[in-house]
Amino acid sequence: MKKIAICIVLGLVFLARSSMAAIGCTLSNPGQDLKALFPEMTDFKDETREFPKIDKGKELYDSLKDRLGGDLDSVYESYDTPYTVYKVFKGKELIGIVHGVNVPGKGGVIQVFLAMDPTSGEIKNFIFQRIDSPAAKALKSKEFRAQFNGLTLADFYKHDYYGAADPGSEKDKVAKIKEPDVGADGKPDYIASIRGVRKNLILLDMFFYEMKFEAYYTRAKEAIAKAKAGKSAEPPPEKK
């Protein structure tokens, strides 16, 4: 009986860990939330994206770590994590894309949602659905979030380029983002939030924009490699 009980307990632990390994991020009230982001919305459609079910999914997932610049979280960033892409319509016209991600923060999970222009890949709005942090008020402020409007994944990849090839460049838009006064206790959640925005943009490039910004990533990688070798690097391409 003891052996049976132990097996049952171990089985439950395994199932619990398995279920925790694929936690997605969805809007609590899609109809209301999307209407707030796009007041002209008349309809929306949600679609699930999963790396195991998309073309070259394993290859793209394996590249996510390098594109984010750090290790992936085993709970919120596993290979089988589901992602929900919301397509927002005005009549039959696609007017917006909304996508959210989970990132681990100091006080718990942080849920970062981006409202995007479906054509240009520019951020139209950046909101937190969930953040439990001493920095929550500062990070949720309109002044901080508005700094991201108009940015694309290209700007984040260019930030990598400038950091390696031309530190302090006036063209580095991401470097111009002003960090709010969050104090030492809130600093980890500020960093996690920036990572959440970048992760969101990378996933959308993979799931929706068909790797629209890949040239910027490639140029940044080349610049970093050349900088390490003491060589000069070509500037990133102009935004299309």
More confident residue, 6 or 141: 141
Q: Which of 81, 79, 148, 80 is nearest to 112 (CA)?
A: 148
Three-class secondary structure of residue 39 per DSSP:
coil
Structure tokens at 199: 């992760």
Q: Distance between CA 239 and CA 236 in Å, rounded?
A: 9
CA-based R_g, the chain, Å? 20
pLDDT on residue 7: 40
Residue type, 108: G
44 CB contacts (<8 Å, ≥6 apart)? 30, 31, 34, 86, 87, 88, 89
Average pLDDT of 112-125?
98
Asked whether residue 8 carries a pLDDT value surpassing 50, the answer given is no
More confident residue, 40 or 3: 40
Q: What is the pTM of this model?
A: 0.89
Numbers of helices and strands, H then E, in the chain:
8, 5
Q: Look over the chain and give the mean of its residue pLDDT values, rounded to a whole number.
A: 90
Q: Which of 76, 189, 180 is nearest to 132 (CA)?
A: 189
pLDDT on residue 239: 60
Asked whether residue 236 carries a pLDDT value surpassing 90, the answer given is no
DSSP 120: T
Q: What is the pLDDT of residues 12-25, one digit of tens each?
A: 433 344 444 578 99
DSSP string, 61-113: HHHHHHHHTSPPPTTTS-TT--EEEEEEEETTEEEEEEEEEEEEETTEEEEEE
Q: What is the pLDDT of residues 137-191, one digit of tens each?
A: 999 999 999 999 999 999 999 999 999 889 999 999 999 999 999 999 999 999 9
Q: What is the pLDDT of residues 45-73, one digit of tens each?
A: 999 999 999 999 999 999 999 999 889 99
pLDDT on residue 88: 98
Asked whether residue 3 carries a pLDDT value surpassing 80, the answer given is no
